[in-house]
Structure 1
């Protein structure tokens, strides 16, 4: 179980096979602990599949070298721990990766593969991160003008992480608020008989003139044309 934003990258090279992890928690105070845990979790999962304890070729951590490295050497069962890496990672020997799984069952694998294909064909699309952000933003409007901290809490992340994730999507908090206002204004004009003054108050504009200027900026014409076009 993990955040949908988690990403594992598997790279095969001369030194073996490296599994690197990227997650959305870099700005969290607990990130150093999370980064230490990930290679250990991958080591335990790999050992469970192999049916024996595996010794990694090396482990990469984004933290600075500790004053007492013995704890990490014991945790990963190797003294080859490299620090200040871009992402936490663990490298396994090529022989360990290519070794057959001792409890492998070809018949069961075929059944599971068929089940996976059927399940994938019938699955509904999963909402992406930006879809979840928009849902949280729309939900926050019920409590008044949404704030960055408020929406970040709904998504279980820090405000800095939320801003960074929006930048990664080619957007920003300010742009998303502008789009939210536009969607709300468009809906109220098309689906209600509220006056422009009432809509301006509901959506958070200082006065009706500010709303009219925004509508001209968005559509190139005034609110009357939108209202006359009716519901979409």
Structure 2
């Protein structure tokens, strides 16, 4: 199913759940983003940009790096938290059919351009494999574990049983606190440093009829999910999402046209063509975001100028100084001092 309208975005259900797990201070900060306001998150038809969701994940893993925070979020998220997608899993004839349907319609909650899911069967096991985008390593780890936990919590809710997967593989190293994960997934089934992320269920578990199955309801819900996707809308326009992704590229210190194009599921040539349609160029956009990010770092952090220069892509402080003089007519030190004086009572 081709879903170009929702590529680069996620559902408000997913964003709402993750924002809800942040601290009050972080919620207030995230609410300044145009597609993470309270009003937008309350709109079930709104699609939140993936860069905004990555900001949420960055906030979550910043407070609890290398933990199973996604698993804990899901254990407190009842069926219905993720809208129609949740009910796709609970109302099918059996777990095998329901999970397959949910994988096919992952766009109903996630970004189909960033989340790659594959179903595999060998007659004894039913496996869902997962991969996400190339975000920061802590974010990638959190998203991967969240995805595997999502399928397990939903499988348990659908069957009403405390299903233990036959095998769970994770590409990352074991976290320092591995015991919570072992309790959740099953210690003997958990394997780290694997070639891919996956969760496998036993054939007898996925073939068992679901207690809440209603004949034909799975097809009705799948059709409803497709209608919701067709009716949904991205809160941000394309250029806004491009700018946010470019900002993310600066944070990842990977400011290349190829990187941003891949994250937006476009070719570099298409990016350049669309920028031209907005009366701008790749170089101009990089310069604008570099300016914006430099000012933000000077105004809001005490980071050394050498660190700021590196974060915005300059080779040394002299290059940073020349750029700030060109933009602001003042040196970085003068910009920081002026910001500090304005902040003083």
Q: Which residue of 2 aligns with 1:209?
A: none
Q: Deviations over 1:107-126 (max 9, x none)?
A: xxx25634654775797487
What SS does structure 2 have at the residue aligned with 1:29?
helix
2:179 is the counterpart of 1:179: no
SS in 2 for 1:30: helix
Separation in 2, partners of 1:10, 1:61 = 16
Deviation, 1:40, is 2.0
- Using the TM superposition, give the Cα deviation of residue 94 of structure 1 relative to its aligned residue in structure 2, in angstroms: 0.6
Equivalence for 1:136? 238
**TM-score, length-scaled by structure 2:** 0.39
Q: Is the 8 A contact 2:120 2:127 kept in 1?
A: yes
- State the distance in 2 between where 1:123 and 1:30 align: 26
TM-score (norm 1): 0.55
Q: Does the Cα contact within 8 Å between 2:131 and 2:144 map onto a contact in 1?
A: no
In the alignment, is residue 3 of structure 1 matched against residue 105 of structure 2? no
The CA distance in 1 between the partners of 2:173 and 2:229, in whole Å, is 43
Larger radius of gyration: 1
Q: In the TM superposition, what is the alpha-carbon distance from 1:93 to its structure 2 partner? A: 0.2
Alignment of structure 1 residues 22-33 onto 2, 5 Å:
22-33=131-142
Contact 1:38 1:88 in 2 (8 A): no
Contact 1:149 1:159 in 2 (8 A): no
Q: Which residue of 1 aligns with 2:219?
A: 113
- Cα 1:163/1:135, change in 2 over 3 Å: farther
RMSD: 4.0
Structure 2 unaligned residues grouped into runs of 5+: 1-108, 282-345
- Long gaps (5+) in structure 1: 141-147, 185-201, 205-232
Question: Is the 2:125–2:200 contact (alpha carbons within 8 Å) kept by the matching residues of 1?
Answer: yes
170 and 63 in structure 1: CA distance in 2 versus 1, 3 angstrom threshold: same
Q: Deviations over 1:54-98 (max 9, x none)?
A: 011010101124566433221212422222234321100011011
Task: Please say if residues 152 and 158 of structure 1, whose CA atoms lie closer than 8 Å, have aligned partners that are also in contact.
Answer: no
Structure with the larger RCO, 1 or 2 (CA within 8 Å, 6+ apart): 2
User: How far did 1:11 drift?
Assistant: 0.7
Q: How many residues align?
A: 168
Work out whether residues 58 and 78 of structure 1, in 8 Å CA contact, stay in contact via their aligned partners in 2: no
Note the alpha carbon deviations across 1:15-34, whole angstroms, 9 max, x for none: 40111122225434322233
Tell whether 2:192 aligns with 1:83. yes
- Distance in 1, matches of 2:148 and 2:192, equals 13
